[in-house]
Structure 1
């Protein structure tokens, strides 16, 4: 009995999921310039499999960051969601992913604009007492520039200080899911 030449659909889905999970980790650690080979290695698949799913780094980064934005949208869509809740999720992602920081700084690339616009739309739907969406987006970019430190704890402390200096309350720093 021989195995089929093409992987089954479930294998392809599993490999894509492994690659996105590995991409999330590698991009979080190394940023948008992380080598594709590191992602394939972390996922435990060959580079051919990686390139079948993601022909370039930008496609992979977009898939990974899509999940980050989806988390923000899910939290913002909750009936009881507050701006502080969503900013807690944004902060969680900022302190864990250098790639996410790059995207939320609202770069001029079409893919980052699309993701940034989705974050902006999620923020638009929330009640805001003193700050408009443009001010919040600016504050997110400012805080992302203040996120530094060798440990997650140091980066979270820096982000909290920055939010406090801006006079903006954030909720629990959590993935939201």
Structure 2
């Protein structure tokens, strides 16, 4: 079994790079082996020691939140693009859902955690901004609320994480078509 050799210790200057490597490794390890995979496997995949892992992420939830924070950042970045629409945002959610379902599952019971609340607040702001943009462009009906957009994002993500790979593309296309019909003018 081959493994990535540990990186030479560069001290505090390596911190940001190590953190990025750990988040990327967590995506891979947990997507392949589930959220209960050993944290040592994440450190090994990232090419860092376990001490570095625990310095950045003192517990499993912290690691899950770091991955989801990146996802929300990607959604925010996408929603800020001039040509972003609800349809294109759902495409990003679909891509993310295929890799991050273990992380979403991990935070479901942590709704009172301030870090989870902060992620929810960011998603809420994103939904409100996209809602205003879609209304102004006349791409959604007046009856659609920002919470409807949040529900659509949640439903697509949750559904895709629970079905076999072979059905995901068709299910994603059907979900997007359903939202278009429900939200359209």
* TM-score of the two chains, using structure 2 as the length reference: 0.73
Q: How far did residue 168 of structure 1 move?
A: 5.4
State the superposition RMSD in angstroms.
2.7
Q: Is the 8 A contact 2:97 2:158 kept in 1?
A: no
Matched, 1:93 2:106: no
Partner residue, 2:19: 16
For 2:109 and 2:146, locate their aligned partners in 1 and report how far apart those are by CA, in whole Å: 14
Q: Is the 8 A contact 1:76 1:82 kept in 2?
A: yes
* TM-score of the two chains, using structure 1 as the length reference: 0.76
| Larger proportion of helix | 2
Q: Is the 8 A contact 1:28 1:97 kept in 2?
A: yes
Q: How far did residue 31 of structure 1 move?
A: 4.6
* Bigger mean CA deviation after superposition, 55-64 or 154-163: 154-163
After TM superposition, the structure 1 = structure 2 runs for residues 27-66 of structure 1, keeping only pairs within 5 Å, are 27-66=30-69
Give per-residue Cα distances to partners, 1:54-82, cap 9 Å, x unaligned.
11111111111111110000011122322
Partner residue, 2:3: none
For 2:109 and 2:122, locate their aligned partners in 1 and report how far apart those are by CA, in whole Å: 11
Return 5+ residue gaps in structure 2 as ranges. 1-8, 135-139
Matched, 1:118 2:122: yes
For 1:84 and 1:71, locate their aligned partners in 2 and report how far apart those are by CA, in whole Å: 15
For 2:78 and 2:179, locate their aligned partners in 1 and report how far apart those are by CA, in whole Å: 23
Matched, 1:159 2:172: yes
Q: How far did residue 32 of structure 1 move?
A: 4.0
May I ask how many residue pairs the two structures share in their alignment? Answer: 163
Which secondary structure does the structure 2 equivalent of 1:97 belong to?
helix
For 1:109 and 1:168, locate their aligned partners in 2 and report how far apart those are by CA, in whole Å: 35
Partner residue, 2:146: 133
Q: Is the 8 A contact 1:40 1:50 kept in 2?
A: yes
Q: How far did residue 105 of structure 1 move?
A: 6.8
